[in-house]
Structures are given as C-alpha cells and as structure tokens.
Amino acid sequence: MNMWKKIATLSLATSIAASSIGTSSISQASSKESAKNKDEVSYVGNTKNPKNVIFLVGDGMGPSYNAAYRYFADDPNTKEMDKTAFDEHLVGTQRTNPNDPKENVTDSAAGATAFSSGHKTFNGAIGVDANKQKVKTVLEQAKENGKSTGLVSTAEITDATPAAYASHVDDRDKKDEIAQQFYNDKINGEHKVDVLLGGGSEYFGKDNGDLTKKFKKDGYDIVKNKNDLKNSKGDQVLGLFAKNDMPLNIDAPNKNPELVDMEKSALDRLSKNDKGFFLMVEGASIDKAGHPNDVTGVMSEMGGFEKAFKHATEYAKSNPDTLVVATADHSTGGMSIAKGEDYEWNPDAIHSMKHSGKYMTEQIADGKNPEKVINEGYGFDISKDNMSDIKEEAENMKGLKEDDSEYEDQLQKLQDAIQKPINDKSNTGWTTYGHTGEDVNTYAMGQGSEKFKGNIDNTDNAKNIFEFFQQ
C-alpha cells in the first residue's frame, strides 16, 4: 500500500450488478470545423472518426505542474521561454469533480472511471457508477469492435487508473480481484487487454492464482525488464517491472523501461490490427511524487510523461487516423511556482539533484546513514541545521514498523526534512499532501480532437470516444 495515498473508507455492496452504459448525444463538429485546409487534412486524417485512440493520463498533473515544467525544461540560453511538447496542443480544460456524498474533490479511481466510462462516481470506485453498478468502458467497447487494446502505467497495473478501464470493483484496494478480472473477464472469448505494462507483480504471483503463468499459457509474452520487452515479439504481452510501483525516472535502474519505452512497445503491437486500437498511457508517478511534495520527483516524472506524449503525437502525424488526448485526473499537492515574497523560481537547483526525496527517504528509513544518503542524493551542500533536522527525524523512525499507527506520519516528517533544502533552494511552495480540485488542462491532436476543445467535463472524454467507436 502506498504510504501517502489517501484511501477512501466507504461501506460498499459486496456484489456488483451488470448494467450497460448509455452514451449521451454529442453534437457533431460544425461545417466550418469540418472544412479543413489541405495541409490540416493531411495532418489530422480524412476519416469521419479516428480508428486509433491514444489516451494519456498525467496523474496529479495540475496546471501548475505544466507551467513549472515549462520553466524546468526551458533552455536558459534562449531569449524567450521555450514551449514544451504539450503547449502547442493545448485545447482547453476539464472539470474533475466526482459524484461522492462526502467529498467534492476526486481521487484517481473516480477520475479514471469518468475517463473510462463517462460516469461520475464516488471516490474509490473502479468501473462502477454511484449506485455500485458495473459500467461499460471505452476499452471494452474497443475490444467488442475487434480493436486491439493496451494499458501502460508507471504504477501497479492494478492501480486505479488502468484498473478502471478493464475491471469493475467497489473498492480500488481490491487489487487481487482486479488482477483476477484482467485474466478471467473476456470479450468474444478473448482477454480484454492485449498489452499490460507496468508494476504490480505482487498481484500476479502464487498468492493470487499464478496469473502470470496463466497469461503465458494463453500465449502472452511475459517480460520483466527493458531488455525482455525489447526482445519480445508476441502480439500480446504482460510486462511487470516492479513488485509494486515502478521507481521514479531519476532513481530507476537502467534495466527498467521508461514510460515512452513501454508506450512504443505497445504501439508496435497494437498497430498491427487493421481495425485499430485503444491505448491508455499513464504517467502515474507524477501524482505519487506530488503527494509527499517531492518537487524533484515531480519534475523527473513530468519529463518522462512529456517524452511519451511527444512520441504519441509523432505517431499520430504518421498515422492520421489516430486521436491523441492527454489530460489529468486532478492536481496534487497544491504546488506553487515560487513562495513567500520572492518573485523567483529556481529550477536549476532541481536539475542538480541526483535522487528524489522519495528515494532518499526510503534509504534512510531502511537504516542507511543519513549524511551519506543526503550527500549522494543532493547536488548542492545543505546547511548543518538542515542535516541536523534530517538526522533527528531519522532517529525518530527507529523502532517503528510499517504497520505502526505513527509510522506514516513519521515517514512524512522525515521526507519533509529531507526535501526542505530543495524546496527552499528552488523556492517551491506546497499547500497539501492531498488532491486539489482545480480544472486541469486538456491537450489533443488528430482526428476528432475538436470534440475536446473548451471547458469540458471529465466524463466527456469517454462520451466522445464511445461516439467515435460506434459502428
């Protein structure tokens, strides 16, 4: 269990009844919008609906993250601030609120269910509506249409966002059941998802029915590292690259694939299907770094997500029957670009970092020498007072076990102490360890992208895609 993740505690029904989704009518593009010039037609394609959909989710990627990353990625030698790969494809914003009786700021489960099904639901729900009824997803519709399907994430592949596309449970923490549904639930006699890439091997092993072996018996390539993935040639693949969440980019060993590597591998396989495909790609660890206010981890993961987004748009330019959409389920942490009285944010300090705050926290919590860990992880010297505070919080960790009630609170105190120097040096502010409810940005290009313009609701993503997939 992620130590910083908020877990919804709701009393839920034990069974989920099946129901079908009804897609609301969505207005067609105007004749003016349809009258594209020749160059634009060649760019976006000339079909009525996209054959392929690549839907990217930057989990926790609120507008301040996109703006901060622009500062972070900017070439200081140029006179004007450079645009990121996202900027030229900004088409609007999205509303993110859930349908929850107690909370009006969404978690990833409710947000992903809105993306996948077009239904608002309560926090913690996966593929079910507010009445705990099963709802059809766009991935399931794609499979019914004979398309290939894929789910890619830097989190556990059973985590909220990928789970909401191919499973239906009343509690996001039922990860064993989610994994079972990935294997057991079929459409037209076939597994729902052809390509599954991410972390979470814990939920596919002996303790949960040896699902990895079952997938292999059914013809899936099973891969465990970047080299395995590169050499895999099968049309269907299950790649599990970590026991739980994959390491952050800045901390990851060379054997691990990056998000863009997983995306490329998925596209190579899915694009073989003449009927098209649906692929969801999640930069999950943007959020996982945001929860503990880890600016180093956030910028590292934003860089990885930009690579994946850029590759998706390049694919769409070469395959004009492809729609690319990128957005976020919510923002996390209330990050501010500058804090206090200073009108300055210093990304150079972040660039100098060698490890994330998360990595250093875990190392020290495991008993490593605090001073050694900090000196190896920081790119600049920290003050004696900062080091003293880190050592004090590390000392307070001793004797605590993960199941102790005070463990998580003390772990966050340790990470706060570890990250204070980089937050101060970069002048980064934070307001919370949880989610925030502001509208998030929408980026889109390719056939059908005009449907995502303006201020839309997060459910409109699925409603649009359902309309595209109607036969």
Query: Tens-of-pLDDT digits for all 471 residues of the chain?
Result: 444 444 333 333 333 333 333 333 333 333 333 333 333 433 333 447 999 999 999 999 999 999 999 999 999 899 999 999 999 999 999 999 999 999 999 999 999 999 999 999 999 999 999 999 999 999 999 999 999 999 999 999 999 999 999 999 999 999 999 999 999 999 999 999 999 999 999 999 999 999 999 999 999 999 999 999 999 999 999 999 999 999 999 999 999 999 999 999 999 999 999 999 999 999 999 999 999 999 999 999 999 999 999 999 999 999 999 999 999 999 999 999 999 898 999 999 999 999 999 999 999 999 999 999 999 999 999 999 999 999 999 999 998 999 999 999 999 999 999 999 999 999 999 999 999 999 999 999 999 999 999 999 999 999 999 999 985
The total number of residues written for the chain in this structure: 471
Q: Annotation-wise, does 311 bind a ligand?
A: no
- Any idea which architecture 347-426 has in CATH? Orthogonal Bundle (1.10)
Side chain identity at 279, as an amino acid letter?
A: L
Catalytic residues: 108
Q: Annotation-wise, does 235 bind a ligand?
A: no
Rounded (10°) CA dihedral 68, 73, 75, 81: -40
pLDDT for the residue 41:
36
Do residues 126 and 178 touch, judged by C-beta distance below 8 A? yes
Other Cβ atoms within 10 Å of 162 Cβ, number: 32
Q: Annotation-wise, does 291 bind a ligand?
A: yes
CA angle (120, 171, 236) in 5-degree steps:
90
Side chain identity at 313, as an amino acid letter?
A: T
Q: Annotation-wise, does 159 bind a ligand?
A: yes
Do residues 8 and 123 touch, judged by C-beta distance below 8 A? yes
319/446 Cα distance (integer angstroms): 9
Do residues 243 and 254 touch, judged by C-beta distance below 8 A? no
- The secondary structure of residue 88, as a DSSP letter, is G
**3-state SS assignment for residue 310:** helix
Do residues 305 and 327 touch, judged by C-beta distance below 8 A? no
- The secondary structure of residue 368, as a DSSP letter, is -
pLDDT for the residue 470:
87
Q: Annotation-wise, does 161 bind a ligand?
A: yes
Instruction: Spell out the domain ranges in the chain.
Output: 47-336+434-469, 347-426
Do residues 358 and 378 touch, judged by C-beta distance below 8 A? no
Model pTM score: 0.90
Q: Annotation-wise, does 330 bind a ligand?
A: yes
Q: Annotation-wise, does 329 bind a ligand?
A: yes
| Matching CATH number, 47-336+434-469, of 3.40.50.1000, 3.30.365.10, 3.20.20.100, 3.40.720.10 | 3.40.720.10
* CA proximity to 303, closest of 26, 66, 39: 66
